[in-house]
């Protein structure tokens, strides 16, 4: 699957074209194409083979031809031509904050600097060529130097779960200075993306109070550096390197500002276009007809005046949500309070930290009516996986503990390894003793799609398998995991009454959002599991729900929301 690869090529083209000062609308169209291809769940090869590339929004004849040529030849002539016109190292310069295409061009043309390395050397030698670059004063130089040092020490985007803890503290700090005015997260964090590049925070305050709100923000305990601070807007860098932007707006504009700063950028562009067609103007201060404000206090009013139902933040990616809204076809997304079950958690029997009873009590406290305990199977030696005899004893222990709790159905299960060839880690006679089987890959994780997909499908077709755990086995920011053909896997799952897991741990979120959407479209059932190794970790369920929402999943799609009777019927269909 070359989706990511091709998306990166288009991004490179857009960056180079921008540096070369080419038409900005063409640049944007390449950026859009990169986004569309990058977020596609189906392999781009399949669409190309079927001649369906131009059915994608933002992909026209010309872009389709480039994709087809690249798939055929492995290179992209237009990109090579651009690279011949500008040194490739210039692209890296764009990673510096405060340095855009114009400055990159000037560094090259006016000082002969064409890479991060060149720039660093020029700084270190206090090269006089730098003084020749128009628009580069002492402050800008200092900013670029700091940014250069930063990208050398900092990593990539921050995982949603890590950002979540930081965000909670910041909201508390700012809210304490805002006399009850609203303080809420916006940006990709609010949309629930699996990683965030920065954090956005919005506060409601009048002009008088705005100053103290901005001050409370820039003075928050974990702020390392104040990047910018005006009367209504400020940016800081936290100790961990994460950048946070705050905007302060009056109550009348709070809703429009929230919509604006939640994005995504492309969703906003669509909203503005709709506004324009109605002769209106939409910005962060409201929706206006001439000077008259028609909406802005809350998000709902913006959508309403634009003639649309409210669109949930998780859907705002310009991935069909506007069209669905117009057609009245938006899904009723699953919510955390719909969740009444968790089917994947570990105990001290394998590598968990809590006992069966402790996990049961914690699930009861969360209001669940059904749960499954699924410890590791024999092959997971490092995780103290259970050999068959220990598993059978463990099953008896779970059933014994379950008897004491009438208000929750406790299923005895296992997280069984899917071996390299797609077979399972226990014999059928052992699996037959279990109520719930999660089958997961824990080894041979660098498999490409042609091997990985049949491996997983073989497990799906297995008589005793109820669920495929973390299907790609990726770890965000740490391991790419297996390439999987989600369309084929979802089709097999739907046909075999197997649920596909969204592993809710924020390191995994696997299935990822685009996979969930493809799975739901193919009619597969989704199960959201915490994979908790202690009672505390049951709370990661919320990240899984967010991912399910980003995948357009409804309560009906997600078996965790079902009554126990319906869950039992689903499991019984397997055998």
Q: Which of residues 41-60 bind DNA (CB under 7 A)?
A: 54, 57-60
The least CB distance from residue 324 to DNA, in Å, is 15
- The answer to whether residue 215 forms part of the interface with DNA (CB under 7 A) is no
In the three-class reduction of DSSP (H, G, I as helix; E, B as strand; rest coil), residue 127 is classed as coil
HSE toward the beta carbon, residue 165, CA cutoff 13 A: 10
- The answer to whether residue 575 forms part of the interface with DNA (CB under 7 A) is no
Please state, in angstroms and as integers, the Cα–Cα distance from residue 229 to each residue in 127, 212, 216, 244, following that order: 31, 12, 12, 12
Choosing from 118, 198, 204, 557, the residue that interacts with DNA (CB under 7 A) is: 198
Q: Give the containing element (helix H, strand E) for 102.
A: helix 101-111
Choosing from 51, 112, 231, 309, the residue that interacts with DNA (CB under 7 A) is: 231
Q: Which of residues 139-158 bind DNA (CB under 7 A)?
A: 139-141, 143
Phi, psi of 196 (to 5 degrees): -125, 145
Among the listed residues 535, 478, 469, 543, the one whose alpha carbon sits nearest the alpha carbon of residue 505: 543
In the three-class reduction of DSSP (H, G, I as helix; E, B as strand; rest coil), residue 383 is classed as helix
CA distance 466 to 439: 8
Give whichever of 186 and 362 is closer to DNA, judged by the CB atom: 186
Phi, psi of 553 (to 5 degrees): -80, 140
Give me the residues paired with residue 159 across strands: 195
- The answer to whether residue 96 forms part of the interface with DNA (CB under 7 A) is yes
Interacting span for DNA (CB under 7 A) from 216-224, 272-280, 437-445, 504-512: 272-280
Interacting span for DNA (CB under 7 A) from 270-278, 363-371, 448-456, 477-485: 270-278
Choosing from 76, 99, 374, 439, the residue that interacts with DNA (CB under 7 A) is: 99
Give whichever of 9 and 424 is closer to DNA, judged by the CB atom: 9
- The answer to whether residue 292 forms part of the interface with DNA (CB under 7 A) is no
- The answer to whether residue 170 forms part of the interface with DNA (CB under 7 A) is no
Q: What are 400's two structure tokens?
A: 């014994």
What is the CB neighbour count within 10 angstroms for residue 206?
12
- The answer to whether residue 28 forms part of the interface with DNA (CB under 7 A) is yes
Choosing from 172, 276, 336, 480, the residue that interacts with DNA (CB under 7 A) is: 276
The least CB distance from residue 541 to DNA, in Å, is 29
Residues whose CB falls within 8 Å of the CB of residue 83, separated by 6 or more in sequence, listed in order: 16
**Taking a C-beta distance cutoff of 8 angstroms, is the pair 375, 349 a contact?**
yes
Where are any strands of DSSP class E within 396-537? 409-417, 436-440, 467-469, 499-503, 525-529
The least CB distance from residue 247 to DNA, in Å, is 8
Q: How many residues bind DNA (CB under 7 A)?
A: 60
Q: Give the containing element (helix H, strand E) for 245.
A: strand 243-249
Interacting span for DNA (CB under 7 A) from 22-30, 356-364, 368-376, 437-445: 22-30
Q: Which residues bind DNA (CB under 7 A)?
A: 23, 25-26, 28-30, 33, 54, 57-64, 78, 94, 96-104, 134-141, 143, 187, 198, 200, 228-233, 243, 245, 261, 265, 268-269, 272-273, 276-277, 281-285
């Amino acid at each position: 699957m070359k989706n990511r690869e091709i998306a990166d090529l288009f991004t490179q083209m857009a960056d180079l074209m921008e540096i070369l000062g080419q038409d900005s609308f063409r640049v944007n169209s390449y950026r859009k194409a990169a986004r569309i291809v990058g977020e596609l769940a189906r392999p781009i090869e399949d669409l190309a083979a079927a001649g369906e590339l131009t059915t994608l929004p933002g992909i026209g004849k010309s872009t389709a031809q480039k994709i087809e040529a690249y798939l055929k030849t492995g290179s992209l002539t237009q990109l090579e031509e651009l690279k011949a016109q500008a040194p490739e190292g210039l692209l890296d310069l764009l990673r510096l904050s405060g340095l855009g295409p114009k400055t990159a061009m000037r560094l090259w043309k006016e000082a002969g600097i064409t890479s991060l390395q060149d720039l660093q050397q020029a700084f270190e030698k206090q090269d006089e060529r730098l003084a020749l670059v128009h628009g580069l004063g002492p402050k800008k130089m200092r900013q670029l130097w700091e940014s250069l040092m930063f990208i050398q020490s900092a990593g990539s985007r921050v995982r949603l779960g890590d950002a979540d803890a930081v965000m909670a503290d910041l909201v508390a700090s700012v809210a304490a200075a805002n006399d009850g005015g609203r303080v809420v997260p916006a940006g990709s964090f609010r949309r629930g993306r699996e990683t965030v590049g920065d954090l956005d925070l919005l506060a409601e305050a009048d002009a008088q109070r705005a100053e103290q709100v901005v001050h409370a923000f820039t003075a928050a305990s974990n702020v390392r550096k104040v990047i910018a601070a005006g009367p209504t807007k400020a940016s800081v860098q936290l100790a961990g390197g994460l950048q946070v932007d705050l905007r302060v707006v009056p109550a009348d504009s709070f809703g429009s500002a929230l919509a604006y700063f939640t994005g995504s950028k492309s969703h906003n562009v669509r909203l503005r276009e709709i506004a324009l067609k109605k002769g209106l103007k939409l910005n962060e201060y409201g929706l206006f007809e001439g000077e008259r404000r028609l909406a802005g206090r809350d998000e709902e009013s913006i959508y309403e005046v634009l003639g649309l139902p409210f669109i949930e933040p998780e859907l705002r990616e310009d991935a069909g949500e506007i069209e669905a809204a117009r057609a009245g076809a938006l899904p009723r997304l699953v919510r955390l309070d719909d969740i009444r079950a968790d089917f994947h958690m570990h105990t001290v029997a394998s590598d968990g930290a809590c006992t069966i009873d402790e996990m049961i009590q914690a699930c009861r406290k969360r209001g669940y009516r059904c749960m499954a305990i699924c410890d590791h199977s024999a092959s997971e030696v490092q995780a103290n996986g259970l050999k068959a005899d220990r598993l059978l004893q463990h099953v008896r222990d779970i059933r014994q503990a379950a008897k004491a709790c009438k208000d929750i159905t406790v299923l005895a299960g296992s997280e069984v390894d899917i071996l390299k060839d797609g077979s399972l880690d226990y014999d059928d006679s052992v699996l037959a003793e279990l109520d719930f089987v999660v089958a997961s890959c824990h080894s041979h994780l660098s498999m490409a799609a042609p091997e990985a997909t049949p491996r997983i499908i073989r497990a799906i077709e297995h008589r005793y398998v109820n669920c495929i755990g973390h299907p790609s086995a990726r770890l965000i920011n740490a391991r790419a995991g297996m390439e999987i053909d989600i369309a084929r896997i979802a089709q097999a799952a739907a046909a075999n009454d197997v649920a596909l897991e969204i592993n809710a741990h924020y390191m995994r979120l696997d299935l990822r959002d685009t996979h969930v959407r493809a799975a739901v479209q193919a009619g597969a059932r989704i199960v959201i599991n915490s994979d908790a190794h202690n009672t505390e970790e049951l709370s990661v369920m919320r990240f899984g729900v967010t991912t399910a929402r980003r995948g357009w999943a409804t309560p009906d799609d997600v078996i965790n929301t079902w009554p126990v009777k319906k869950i039992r019927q689903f499991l019984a269909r397997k055998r």
